[in-house]
Structure 1
Amino acid sequence: MTAQDIDHIINHISLRKSRRRWRWIAIILFVIGLIALIANLAGTGLPEREHVARIRIDGLITGDQASIDLLQRVTKDDKAKAVILRIDSPGGTTAGSEALYDEIRAMSAKKPVVAVMDTVAASGGYIAAIAADHIVARGNTITGSIGVIFTFPEVSRLLNTVGVTVEELKSGDLKAEPSPYKPVSEKARAYSMTLVEDGFRWFKGLVVDRRKLDAAKVDALADGRVFTGRQAKAEGLIDELGGEEAALTWLKTEKKLPEAIEVLDRRPPKPVSEELFGVSIGSRALDWLGFPHIAQMAERAKLDGLLVLWHPAL
């Protein structure tokens, strides 16, 4: 037997061991994934006892389907006798906030809903809150920011610096305006402002209707400023200072819920990767590669169009 034959046998044995190892790894990952999937599906089942459903509205509001589906599922659940919305959000898109508002109002037609503001419930977060039947906030909660903003980049000077020209062929002056490739025209600016003003009238109308405030007073409050919970209470923008205990007390006193009723978290189902690792694989991979902010930038990129958002740059 030659040395070449021995090398061939060794390589063959190593290859078989490698295949066997990877086969076992694949089987283990498949079993783990199957267990996580079963657990995930089981977690979406309805609780069998009467309860107050706790639903969290966190981060940017985009009207994502998972959140809408959760609200609809809890609305239809006869075991959920009331709902506590825990809001910690600076807002998001105007359309997404509208979708969330509509779903909360539909829920309120079937069962009592209380909003509990945490650190921030501003702009679109405040829209979600006023859809509820009762609003509770901490004294130092940041809320308000009644207003609409339309932001867009303008990079024409940067393109000129690097020698890039963008040509456009379009059917009308206002098609794809404002454009990031050239300074905004007065015509485009004026028309974009009509969109902002229309969304602003809608937002103020919600506050007037839901908070039973005089339109002139809402006009005075709706300059985009934020309020602490204490200031918001004084202005009539919220109902009560406190936390979840205050919300439960209101439900038991005003809506006659049983004293012993428990509060259960209701969440949208997570992707299997998050069930396994507590974080999405994509986000973890970006962290490993040294780009932790790309996932945040991708989330921010969803915010196209009109925004009801406090600090859009964030």
Structure 2
Amino acid sequence: MLKERLKLPKDKSLPMVDYRKYSGVRRWTLGLTGYKDQIAVIRASGSISRVRGPFSTRGTGIIAEDIIEKIQTVRESKKYKAVIIRIDSPGGDALASDLMWREIRLLADSKPVVASMADVAASGGYYMAMGTGIIVAENLTLTGSIGVVTGKFNLGKLYEKIGFNKEIISRGRYAELTAAEQRPFRPDEAELFAKSAQNAYKQFRDKAAFSRSMHVDKMEEVAQGRVWTGNDAASRGLIDAIGGLSRAVAIAKQKANIPQDQEVTLVELVKPSPSLPEILTGIGNSLVGADRILKQLLDELAVSDGIQARMDGIMFQKLEGADYSSPILTMLKDYLGSF
């Protein structure tokens, strides 16, 4: 039948290709997957956490362990000529930000890496960006906020209101540093917290100076937790170029020695959408008792010794419509409003 459709003589044999040989053909040579040269795009959007929490599902915020896994995959792959990290984040966990910065630096040692900053890349978000070779931002991208914030909840009055009592058995002078949320800091505890925050800030500032090839004193002038627009950040050496994702692609092509008039395939490492069981699990977790809610609130500060690389003002307030807003605060507010 095939010979008839091809109008070939019946006595002529057809050339055959073994399936294993056929499956080994690169698809781009047949025009099936776009263009030969590929640039990986890693999206990092939302608040930064070290690991996935009980209230989070896949695609919720920036989970450091997930981003690091993607970075390592891209670094080990030879098919990507360059990498673009698309960042839209106000920051979050300081240690998680530092771990991702290190992996991004290692990635930048193996192939061109460009940071493309969207609406906001502040504190931990900028921490990630400064690990790349080139930083691109929009004119009004909120940039910088090189600083840290720390503290703990003092829930003594709340516990009195809901009739909750907590007793702690501890050994060691600072063993209750973050566990005793039913009381304020002692003077020596507050001093230790302040020193820890100062050390974290110096590490952040010094790494920013190193990453931007800037003297520490000059970086100190633009750091101290201050936030700049993209234009202001460019004039102060915090970013390299103004533009969006297309500008980042053009720079990535240049760094990878790909002609500007040559098309490339952008391979976006997309986070999978949450499955139905995960959604139902999240709903179930949201219906737990007040003690679980309070514990999660405390855990958000307890992680990384309570030190957060966040843009000031975002740590404790809910941002309407943002995917990094925490539903826990709203749940607690509704719960307390029932009394």
TM norm. shorter chain > 0.5? yes
Partner residue, 2:103: 103
Q: Which amino acid is the alignment partner of residue 269 of structure 2?
A: R
Query: What is residue 186 of structure 1 aligned with on the other side?
Result: 187
Contact kept, 8 Å, 1:67 with 1:268, in 2: the verdict is no
Please list, as runs of the form range in 1=range in 2, the aligned pairs for 1:141-220 lying within 5 A after superposition.
Answer: 141-160=141-160, 164-178=164-178, 179-220=180-221
The one-letter code of the counterpart of 2:315 is P
Kindly provide the CA deviation profile for residues 220-242 of structure 1, in whole angstroms up to 9, marking residues without a partner as x: 22221211101101111000100
1:285-304 map, 5 Å: 301-303=299-301, 304=303
* Residue 236 (str. 1) matches residue 223 (str. 2): no
Over 3 Å counting, the alpha-carbon distance change for 1:260 and 1:298 in structure 2 is farther
- 1:280 lines up with 2:254 in the alignment: no
Distance 2:89 2:161 in 1: 38
Equivalent residue number for residue 263 of structure 2: 260
* Count of aligned pairs between the two proteins: 259
Q: Which has the higher helix share?
A: 1
Equivalent of 2:39 in 16, 41, 52 = 52
Q: Which amino acid aligns with 1:54?
A: V
CA distance in 1, matches of 2:297, 2:256: 38
Structure 2 unmatched runs, 5+: 1-32, 51-63, 318-339
* Between 60-69 and 126-135, the greater mean CA deviation after superposition: 60-69
Aligned-pair distance for 1:171?
Answer: 0.9
Distance 2:279 2:164 in 1: 37
Whether contact under 8 Å (1:159, 1:165) holds in the other structure is: yes
- Equivalent residue, structure 2, for 1:28: none
Q: 1:105, 1:300 → 2: CA distance?
A: 32
Q: What SS does structure 1 have at the residue aligned with 2:44? A: strand
Aligned CA RMSD, in angstroms, stands at: 2.8
- Deviations along 1:47-71, one digit per CA (max 9) or x if unpaired, are 9953000100111122332222111
Q: Return the alpha-carbon distance in structure 2 between the equivalents of residues 247 and 300 of structure 1.
A: 39
Distance apart, 1:131 and its partner CA: 0.4
What is the CA distance between 1:299 and its match in structure 2? 9.1
Per-residue CA distance 1:2-55 (angstroms, 9 max, x = gap) = xxxxxxxxxxxxxxxxxxxxxxxxxxxxxxxxxxxxxxxxxxxx9995300010
In the alignment, what sits opposite 2:310?
A: 309
Deviations 1:110-160 (Å, cap 9, x if unpaired)?
A: 110000000010000001000010000000111111111112100123334
CA contact under 8 A between 1:87 and 1:115: conserved in structure 2? yes
Sequence identity, in percent?
30
Q: Which amino acid in structure 1 is aligned with residue 204 of structure 2? A: F
Shift of 1:282: 3.5
* Structure 1 stretches lacking a partner, 5+ long: 1-45
| Cα displacement (A) at 1:286 | 7.8
Change (3 A) 1:300 1:190: closer
Counterparts of 2:73 and 2:46 in 1: how far apart (Å)?
Answer: 21
* Cα drift, residue 256 of structure 1: 1.0
